[in-house]
Structure 1
């Protein structure tokens, strides 16, 4: 058994340069997530012709994905809040890979729709994990900069990912486009496993460095504390009554003066 001195030290939030590898992995994962969501938009005519459905029916591939995200985002995020963040993120990327591969090889429209719904379920969890992950890689005052770098991957997905996959699908076939996207998701998963440090699970407070001052309490929390104190502490008149009652009894029992 390795000694405690040889165990991997837990990740301590630092500056953006120290977390550059992890932020890059998160940005790439966000890029493939956005591209996976929107890739059918430019390929609907090709998909409808190949699967022998109308373009309106093929458009349900985007609708099914969005419906799964809207319906499952809150319950899945709540159900997975105690799971390790890195493991959960890698799981969502693995589901992206599986979804895109199934779409690429599916012989029927129904199977393609099921695969897209599966990707939507992964998407419902992905962004709640990735956004929170980025803020835990750096110190609190650098969280905005880290989030900006990660969401840059989403912008790249809109600007580059969707046009490139559409061009590729038009040139060599829409199934090839999904296969290439599955490979990009797998690459993002490998880089995430290698570059992204593990952080505490959801709901776990950020560790306070030794010697750091305690976080200031908000006015609302101070008001709640005062209200609880006043509800559990006897009021002043009651205390005065309790304290003076023995003295008043002594005065009543004292003999009258001559």
Structure 2
């Protein structure tokens, strides 16, 4: 039963790459559609805010549908959206092309792990979920930088055509090889899940995710532009830098998995503290290959770790409804991503690209303060021995 799990992971790779590939394409999109970089950055905000606003509710509604048909439908939706992005004549059509897949992404991620466990059985749940999560890591390591390299060689539209093709191929593979699993839907259970929203502890942890991801994407949204305009790198070199950034994320994924099991809030504080150093050091290091490599390594490791830490942290704080808590983390993270793109665009317009790292660090420092407050008030999640 391993092959269907790997197919879901591969589908997840395409889903997540569709969201984040635009980070490496922003300079080309802005030039071609004749808008500014901050205006193009609003495409990131649109996608993220759509996920944040509709994700938990769409996930709850779609939980009643048979998983195989649901996942195939989502991938076909992604194929349509990426094809539309590839032919978009203006920023308005491009915005529509980004809105469509944002409706499907949270549904896929919230239900794919559950489906993987249904396929292999609860005794192999951990292995199944880890394989699904590997698609996230691969999207960062390969999807985003390879998309940037394709855009450099053939234009940014080619990257979206390739994503459209991959979406169709993976929809076909899921149709052929993904088994049909029983639908587990209980309206009463659904009401109980929404009841956890009243918990101040849960609200604090969602706010923590918002701050963390806002800090990340205040600068990460415009990383390709920083490397092009401030460091003078061409598109191919930018792609290799993004690949290195993602590759060290494999280390962060491993470290984050170990740390979050010991103490979720301490892990958040530790990785946030190190990430501030990498973000602030980025621009001063641009003209020193060694210093730049160190700064991007620190940032890349901690960013990947915080993706995992934030996800598990919310699930641990609501053990009675872990899947719904995970969907709330997805919503909070994407709200932070959207806010970060807006803030970063405003900083570029008012203070310039070079100041993005300091603005991002401000949000991360607030996140550290919030984590300390949660611990001080005795609301921290207990460490798991």
Q: Which residue of 2 aligns with 1:110?
A: 92
1:180 to 132, 153, 162: 162
Q: Equivalent residue of 2:21, what SS?
A: helix
Q: Equivalent residue of 2:120, what SS?
A: coil
Report the Cα distance in structure 2 between the residues aligned to 1:129 and 1:63, rounded to whole angstroms.
24
Pairwise mapping of residues 9-88 of structure 1 onto structure 2 (< 5 A)? 19-88=1-70
Q: Which residue of 2 aligns with 1:100?
A: 82
Q: Which residue of 1 aligns with 2:383?
A: none
Q: Which residue of 2 aligns with 1:159?
A: 141
Contact 1:89/1:129 (8 A) holds in 2:
no
Q: Which residue of 2 aligns with 1:245?
A: none
Report the Cα distance in structure 2 between the residues aligned to 1:187 and 1:202, rounded to whole angstroms.
28
Report the Cα distance in structure 2 between the residues aligned to 1:121 and 1:202, rounded to whole angstroms.
22
What RMSD, in angstroms, separates the aligned Cα atoms of the two structures? Answer: 1.3
1:166-195 deviation line (CA, Å, top 9, x unaligned): 100111100011001111111111111111
Tell me the TM-score normalised to structure 2 length. 0.48
How many residues in Structure 1 have an aligned counterpart in Structure 2? 187
Q: Which residue of 1 aligns with 2:350?
A: none
Alpha-carbon shift at residue 202 of structure 1 (Å): 3.6
Specify every segment of 5 or more residues in structure 1 that has no aligned partner in the other structure, as ranges.
Answer: 1-18, 205-219, 221-258
Q: Equivalent residue of 1:186, what SS?
A: helix
Q: Which residue of 2 aligns with 1:8?
A: none
Alpha-carbon shift at residue 199 of structure 1 (Å): 0.1
Q: Which residue of 1 aligns with 2:175?
A: 193
Report the Cα distance in structure 2 between the residues aligned to 1:202 and 1:62, rounded to whole angstroms.
33
Contact 1:76/1:125 (8 A) holds in 2:
yes
1:128 to 110, 116, 129: 110
Higher RCO, 1 or 2 (CA under 8 Å, sep at least 6)? 1
Alpha-carbon shift at residue 150 of structure 1 (Å): 1.4
Contact 2:63/2:111 (8 A) holds in 1:
no
Q: Which has the larger radius of gyration?
A: 1
Report the Cα distance in structure 2 between the residues aligned to 1:172 and 1:163, rounded to whole angstroms.
14
Tell me the TM-score normalised to structure 1 length. 0.70
Specify every segment of 5 or more residues in structure 2 that has no aligned partner in the other structure, as ranges.
Answer: 187-319, 321-385
Report the Cα distance in structure 1 between the residues aligned to 2:30 and 2:181, rounded to whole angstroms.
44
